[in-house]
């Protein structure tokens, strides 16, 4: 009688292990089938900063949300001022990184690129050497957007993304910026 009970318990453990294993594989497959171009559309709040492969986490209280719109437009809604701003700069997704005059590097992951248009600096700033006006980026993006222009994009699931800066000038911060979709 004890052998039958032990066999039954062993069988149940094997079946339970297979069920859990199949469930984990299904979620990985679901993430693999996400179309980033469509899935990124919508409103996203920064909720977490992680470092060292997630072992060091800092919760973050969002100051607003980013909205990725069709046609590569991006907008920001500020909770404090209740102001909604559509940026002229664009965003796009591909699998390349380009640094200055170097040929693009192809990656095996999606890269989220941001464009921030240049405008002539206000206040009459002039280049000391040439006497011409200096150029500045048009927007000072909110603090909820990490500094940089090229980010490794990782969909943790359909409603959670992680951004990691790939720009050489911003490597001093090794945070992953975790965003949740706002409903």
**Over the stretch 145-167, which tens digit does the pLDDT of each residue have?**
877 888 899 998 889 999 988 87
Contacts of 1 (CB under 8 A, 6+ apart): none
Least confident of 2-11, 122-131, 155-164, 170-179: 2-11
Q: What angle do CA 88, 41, 141 make, to 5 degrees?
A: 40
Q: How far apart are CA 150 and CA 97, in angstroms?
A: 7
Q: Given its phi and psi angles, is residue 144 left (phi above 0), alpha (psi -120 to 50 degrees) or beta? A: alpha
| pLDDT at 14 (0 to 100) | 42
pLDDT higher at 148 or 125 = 148
Which tens digit of pLDDT belongs to each residue from 68-93?
A: 999 899 999 999 999 999 988 889 99
- Mean pLDDT, the chain, as a whole number? 75
For 2-35, the pLDDT digits (tens) are 555 544 444 444 444 444 434 344 444 455 566 8
What does the pLDDT read at residue 2? 56
The reply to whether the predicted model has a pTM over 0.75 is no
Looking at residue 133, the DSSP 8-state letter turns out to be B
Per-residue tokens: 55: 């072992």
Q: What is the CA radius of gyration of the chain?
A: 23
Cα–Cα distance for residue pair 107/92, rounded to 1 Å: 15
Contact 97, 167 (CB under 8 A): no
Sign of the torsion angle spanned by Cα atoms 179, 81, 142, 86: positive
pLDDT of 131 over the 60 cut: no
Confidence (pLDDT) at 46: 95
Distance CA 88, CA 74 (A): 8
Domain spans of the chain, in order of start = 1-33, 35-182
Mean pLDDT, residues 62-72: 94
Q: What is the pLDDT of residue 171?
A: 52
Hey, which CATH number is domain 35-182, 3.30.390.50, 2.70.160.11, 2.40.128.280, 3.30.930.10? 2.40.128.280
């Amino acid at each position: 009688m004890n052998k039958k009970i032990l066999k039954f318990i062993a069988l149940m453990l094997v079946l339970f292990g297979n069920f859990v294993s199949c469930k984990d594989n299904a979620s990985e497959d679901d993430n693999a089938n996400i179309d980033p171009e469509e899935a990124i559309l919508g409103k996203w709040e920064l909720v977490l900063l992680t470092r060292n492969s997630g072992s060091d986490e800092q919760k973050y209280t969002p100051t607003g949300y980013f909205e990725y719109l069709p046609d590569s437009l991006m907008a920001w809604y500020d909770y404090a001022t209740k102001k909604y701003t559509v940026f002229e700069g664009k965003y796009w997704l591909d699998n390349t990184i380009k640094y200055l005059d170097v040929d693009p590097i192809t990656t095996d992951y999606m890269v989220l690129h941001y464009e921030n248009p240049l405008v002539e600096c206000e206040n009459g700033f002039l280049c000391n050497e040439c006497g011409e006006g200096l150029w500045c980026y048009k927007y000072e993006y909110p603090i909820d957007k990490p500094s940089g222009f090229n980010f490794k994009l990782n969909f943790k699931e359909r409603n959670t993304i992680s951004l990691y800066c790939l720009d050489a000038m911003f490597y001093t911060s090794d945070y992953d910026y975790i965003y949740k979709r706002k409903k």
